[in-house]
């Protein structure tokens, strides 16, 4: 199997991360706009 197509650096598996941030609005903006993540509709208000 050729692994070059699946190269993600040193990340093996990243399923869930808990973070504490002082400004939830700024953090949400960063993750949605800056990193192009999605938000669960019931938590993204």
pLDDT tens figures, 4-45: 666 666 767 767 778 888 998 898 888 889 888 887 767 666
Domain that holds residue 32: 19-45
Confidence at 1, pLDDT banded by 50, 70, 90: low
Residue 30 lies in a domain: yes
Torsion over CA: 12, 15, 19, 23 (sign): positive
pTM: 0.46
Q: Flag whether pLDDT at 2 surpasses 60.
A: no
Residue 31 lies in a domain: yes
Residue 12 lies in a domain: no
Structural domains of the chain, count: 1
- pLDDT computed for residue 8 by the predictor: 64
Burial tier of 13 (Cβ tally within 10 Å: 0-12, 13-18, 19+): exposed
Tokens 């953090």 found at: 27
Residue 6 lies in a domain: no
Residue 2 lies in a domain: no
- pLDDT computed for residue 3 by the predictor: 57
Residue 12 CA from chain centroid, whole number: 15
CA distances from 10 to 14, 16, 23, 28, 35 (A): 11, 17, 29, 26, 19
């Amino acid at each position: 199997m050729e692994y070059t197509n699946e190269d993600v650096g040193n990340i093996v598996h990243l399923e869930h991360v808990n973070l504490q941030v002082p400004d939830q609005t700024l953090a949400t903006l960063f993750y949605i706009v800056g990193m192009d993540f999605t938000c669960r509709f019931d938590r993204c208000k």
